[in-house]
Structure 1
């Protein structure tokens, strides 16, 4: 998602980490002090373009 939404640090109004907390308080700004932020991407998710392409290729192969 980062290519489409960016990486939010301190406040994110688009996609809350915890829906129950968001429903109670809505979004609120982090008021502490950030000294550094590390972003470590994980493995691509099931909706990643390469995963979708592989699934479509596999499905098409079933009809050959």
Structure 2
């Protein structure tokens, strides 16, 4: 049985998501308007949304459903 490889992240999930979103936005700004640029901007927005969802889920005020 093989063992699972472990990796210790230096940055939190939110920080990694924010960095990737910023990288994608910068890359998209270098492209002319078109489908490729739109695709990168959409990915960046999805990552930003994931950041907000993760913040919401880990907030102390979140109540469990009844």
Length-normalised TM-score, structure 2: 0.30
Q: Structure with the greater relative contact order (CA < 8 A, sep ≥ 6): 1 or 2? A: 2
Length-normalised TM-score, structure 1: 0.31
Q: Which has the larger radius of gyration?
A: 1
Which structure: greater helix fraction? 2
